[in-house]
Amino acid sequence: MTIRIKDLASPLLAAALALAAPAAMAANTMVGGAEMLPSKTIVENASQSADHTTLVAAVKAAGLAETLMGPGPFTVFAPTNAAFAKLPKGAVEDLLKPENKDKLTQILTCHVVAVDAMSPAIGKMIMDDGGAHPVKTLGGCVLTAKIGPKNELQLTDENGTTATVTIPDVDQSNGVVHVIDTVLMPRM
The rounded distance, in Å, linking the Cα atoms of 83 and 120 is 24
Q: Please, which pLDDT band fits residue 32 given cuts at 50, 70 and 90? A: confident
Q: Are 178 and 170 in contact (CB under 8 A)?
A: yes
pLDDT at 5 over 80: no
Strands 162-172 and 112-113: unpaired
- pLDDT of amino acid 22: 40
Q: Which residues pair with 172 in a beta bridge?
A: 175
List the domains of the chain with CATH numbers.
29-180 (2.30.180.10)
| pTM, two decimal places | 0.83
Give the percent of the chain with pLDDT over 70.
86
Closest CA to 52 of 69, 32, 25, 26: 32
Specify the 3-state DSSP secondary structure of 118: coil
Measured between alpha carbons, how far is residue 161 from residues 53, 115, 148, 184 in Å? 22, 23, 14, 7
pLDDT band at 181 (very low <50, low <70, confident <90, very high): very high
Predicted local confidence at residue 31, as pLDDT: 84
